[in-house]
Amino acid sequence: MFGRLGPTEIILILVVIILLFGAKKLPDMARSLGKSARILKSEAKAMKSEGQDDTTAASAPPNPGEAPAQRTIQAAPGDVTSSRPVAEPTDTTKR
């Protein structure tokens, strides 16, 4: 029933989308969707690298006098206005 969409159905769906949202808002929506995808990709990469760092860091004892480095999450490459520093929580339960 919904398995195959022909060219007529796709064109009809695109026309309805343009009528609902308007031609002026579609580029902005696409741009914000692209930014969201880049943020998601960079966060997933950061989580993956943190997971790999945690396995190597678990074997080495932490230095008590050393302060943790502050990380900056960037929304898009070169987009300085949306970057923000992130203070990571410290885990005091492991001693």
pLDDT tens for each residue of the chain, 95 residues long: 567 889 899 999 988 988 888 888 888 888 999 999 999 999 999 998 887 776 665 555 556 556 556 666 656 665 555 555 556 566 666 65
Give the whole-angstrom CA distance, residue 73 versus residue 47.
12
Give the whole-angstrom CA distance, residue 52 versus residue 47.
9
Residue with tokens 């741009």: 31
The length of the chain in residues reads: 95
Residue with tokens 């992130």: 86
